[in-house]
Amino acid sequence: MRLHEKISTFVEAKREVSIQLSNAIWAVPELHFHEEKSVQYMKDALEKEGFETEIGIANLETALVGTYGAGKPVIAFLGEYDALPGLSQKGGITQHEPLKDGGNGHGCGHNLLGTGAFAAATAVKDYLEENNQPGTIRFYGCPAEENGSGKAYMAQAGIFDDVDIAISWHPGTFSTVMTCSSLANYAATFKFTGKSAHAAAAPHLGRSALDAIELMNVGVNYLREHIIPEARVHYAVTNTGGTSPNVVQQYAEVTYLVRAPKKQQVQEIYKRVENIAKGATLMTETSVEVQFEGAASNLISNRTLYDIMYKQMLEIGMPTYTIEDEKHATAIFKTFSPEVQATALFGLSKEDATQLKNKVIADSIPSILPEFIMGGSTDVGDVSWKVPTVQCTTTCMALGTPLHTWQVVSQGVMPIAHKGMLQAAKAMACTAITLIDNPALIEEARKEWQERLDDETYVSLIPQGATPPKH
């Protein structure tokens, strides 16, 4: 039996276990560093499969490692299970209908992501067991990818130092390998304090913290013209200081997120943002306290690894989609604006786009994309500075579905999502076994990784001694 057939047998044998685990995590959407139920579900599932587990690694209460086997190589599967705020949504329906107003939802598919990595880890365990082969398989449960960058804390703590290869994936609208790098980022909350006063009777006695935030935001908006075009600076006013215009706001908060292709660029831009905040305090006679929120390094690509993974994906092929899958995807696609629909095939080659034209499910594997820098960030980047890392994405939702939307949440418990999750598990497991059976490929990947780092050592963007904020 060929490798992909053997691994598919292992994964399919536990299909219902994986689906139930993914749906259970979907049903308890928990925010960054608060994934108590989700990590317990994952821990229980790993222990049933014979993994030794430990919760609370790297001083993160909801971080988990599950280990099976012994010796080299050490293969890490990276899982996530955090949700997003404000994206509560009933599953399987094609209109916006929150389960809970203002509640959380798995709008990036991390219920699938963690479970897919779990399914891959257990399949490799079964393969090594059956063939009596040495090797160590680790599942890393990584909290707070969306806000807080749990993997960055784990990398800083040395959790990945003895790993040979790290493998992950992400739910998406196509099935292919990820050839991209990502933007490094740094997030911080600026907490301004002034003096309250009656806004009509004694405004001269007040010092407005909200004024300081508005002046800071204006200053940063002027800064945008003078930073590299690839950089991004986002902000959200998280505390306006109250609801009464009749009171000078004594306290207010704003959170900033700075992104750029390189860590040094992020640090330089953030320093300028910080100086603008100090300037706002001088203009308003207020004070500011800065609270670190999270940071992530840029992702280091590895052609050796993504070529191997792409070959495995071609061997595995695409799942079969039913008429019901097509109908549901069509209904979801119709909820998108024409502008969103027009981006459904963005980035594909002309040939691949032609093949998928007029379809609502990407049912073929596109050609491998040239390397590029994606517009977002991921804390997988910090892992990739520590160890050669590879990722894929698989079709888990209708074409054109934007991440961080209610449509992702709705589709997260549907057959198309489960099919993509298990396809990813097979691709990751086949990649791992190929590397275990061919140690020279691991050395080749490591050599390329070292060349790409170009002797630059890993330095975390997380300040020394910083602990994750829990809001």
Alpha carbon distance 119, 45 (integer Å): 10
Domain 3-182+298-453 is of which CATH architecture?
A: 3-Layer(aba) Sandwich (3.40)
Domains 3-182+298-453 and 184-296 fall in the same CATH topology? no
Query: How confident is the model at residue 467, as a pLDDT?
Result: 84
Using DSSP, state whether 256 is helix, strand or coil: strand
Query: How confident is the model at residue 470, as a pLDDT?
Result: 67
**Interval 351-368: pLDDT, tens:** 999 999 999 999 999 999
Backbone φ and ψ for 16, nearest 5 degrees, come out as: -65, -35
Query: How confident is the model at residue 465, as a pLDDT?
Result: 85
Q: Which two tokens stand for residue 96?
A: 């916006």
Give the angle 114-118-119 at the CA atoms, nearest 5°. 120
The answer to whether the CB of 429 falls within 8 A of the CB of 315 is no
CB atoms within 10 A of CB 343: 12
Alpha carbon distance 388, 432 (integer Å): 12
Class of domain 184-296: alpha beta
Domain-by-domain residue ranges, the chain?
3-182+298-453, 184-296
Q: Considering the entire predicted model, what is its pTM?
A: 0.94
Segments of the chain with pLDDT less than 70: 470-471
Strands 180-181 and 372-373: parallel
Query: How confident is the model at residue 347, as a pLDDT?
Result: 87
Alpha carbon distance 291, 32 (integer Å): 16
Name the one residue in this structure whose structure tokens are 């913290």.
Answer: 209
Query: How confident is the model at residue 147, as a pLDDT?
Result: 87
DSSP 182-221: --EEEEEEEEEE-B--BTTT-GGG-B-HHHHHHHHHHHHH
